Amino acid sequence: MERKESKNFKQLPARNQIVKELTSQVKEDLKNYFQDRDYGVIAVTREDALRAFVVKTTNLCEIARLRHKLSPMATAVLGRALTGAILLTSLLKHGTDQRVLLRIEGDGPIGLVVAEANAKGEVRGFVQNPDVPLFVKEENGRKKFDIAKAVGKGTLTVVKDLGFGTPYESSVPIVSGEIAQDIAYYLLKSEQIPSAVAIGVLVGENGKVEAAGGFLAQPLPDASEDAVSKLEENVKSLPPVSSLIKEGKRPEDIAELIFKGFTTELLALKELSFRCRCSKEVAERGLVAMPVEELHRLKEEGGVSIKCNFCGEEYFFTPEEIEKVIKEKESGDN
């Protein structure tokens, strides 16, 4: 099928609040435009004040798995955190350089979990223990990954960098460890935004990510009580979001399920990708921070590789490059 760079979507900047009804033609255009790529839709209801951000993140979770050589358990946890960070970009201004960082510090065996997303749809992240073993629990007769066991108890912190001054940081205790519920708890406690959050990452037998995605649905301040209870009902009756994506449902289809009984309209679209902004220049700051004696040692050892935590990329520094850093440090110290 021919890929159409549909003109329709260019008319959808969130700022202008231009909405587009989700007709079958629009759905067809979306399918042709995004195909298998990851993306999210911001949808609203015509009849009432409900909003949802629904995302498919299968590819970016798989890229994270490959980059960090994650075990199946670590894939499920980081995949959820990456998807969660993307959902939290709802707190940012669409399309800007604003960023949100999600930090989960639990006492479980996976250790620290960090994911950072920006308003442009780029996300990156890591877990402290990429080899964490598999924990399985049974729920309604079905075996499921026990995310809460890997994460443990502790705190969930959200850092919003809105591009001016000190980033805004707020923490809540981990209430479930399943990540989606914890994000909903954070939104309620720290942002006073009641919301329904669902995230799912389906990891196959071979360890590969088969389907991943999530949504954040919320009543806007002037929503009617009736609409709020309808939304709650719809969300409760939904199958797991990873199952929906596995069976071929797209973000816009899931938005329609969330808004069953309403007319779903599109407010904005966002392409999503795993992307790190690291570079050799950024890695060099790690060298500059080291004591001069340590740099001499690394130089004599024939160079050093500095690894970016966020994406696993390694930057090699030759003895000559280390010497340059030593010289700069020594001149800077005087």
**From 59-67, 141-149, 261-269, 273-281, span contacting Zn ion (CB under 5 A):** 273-281
Q: How far is the CB of 86 from Zn ion (least distance, A)?
A: 17
Q: How far is the CB of 283 from Zn ion (least distance, A)?
A: 9
Nearest to Zn ion of 186, 310 (CB atom): 310
Contact between residue 76 and residue 242 where contact means Cβ atoms under 8 Å apart: no
How are beta strands 273-274 and 122-127 bridged, if at all?
Answer: parallel
Task: Tell which positions 122-161 bind Zn ion, by CB under 5 A.
Answer: none
Q: How far is the CB of 112 from Zn ion (least distance, A)?
A: 16
**From 111-119, 151-159, 269-277, 320-328, span contacting Zn ion (CB under 5 A):** 269-277
Nearest to 218 by CA among 76, 88, 23: 88
Nearest to Zn ion of 151, 308 (CB atom): 308
Nearest to Zn ion of 126, 259 (CB atom): 126
Nearest to 110 by CA among 137, 139, 138, 81: 81
Contact between residue 156 and residue 148 where contact means Cβ atoms under 8 Å apart: no
* Sequence-ordered strand ranges (E) for the chain: 20-21, 39-45, 50-56, 99-106, 112-118, 122-127, 136-139, 142-145, 154-161, 168-173, 196-203, 209-219, 264-271, 273-274, 304-307, 314-317
Q: How far is the CB of 68 from Zn ion (least distance, A)?
A: 11
Task: Tell which positions 179-208 bind Zn ion, by CB under 5 A.
Answer: none
Nearest to Zn ion of 19, 278 (CB atom): 278
Nearest to Zn ion of 210, 313 (CB atom): 313
Residue 268 Cα distances to 54, 252, 271, angstroms: 11, 11, 10
Contact between residue 44 and residue 140 where contact means Cβ atoms under 8 Å apart: no
Q: How far is the CB of 224 from Zn ion (least distance, A)?
A: 46
Nearest to Zn ion of 74, 196 (CB atom): 74
Residues 6+ apart with CB under 8 A from 311: 67, 124, 126, 274, 276, 278
Site string for Zn ion, 275-314 (x = CB under 5 A): -x-x-----------------------------x-xx-x-
Q: How far is the CB of 163 from Zn ion (least distance, A)?
A: 21
Q: What are phi and psi of 288, to 5 degrees?
A: -60, -30
Q: How far is the CB of 309 from Zn ion (least distance, A)?
A: 7
What is the size of the binding site for Zn ion (CB under 5 A)? 6
Nearest to Zn ion of 223, 276 (CB atom): 276
Q: What are phi and psi of 252, to 5 degrees?
A: -65, -30
Interface contacts to Zn ion, rule CB under 5 A: 276, 278, 308, 310-311, 313
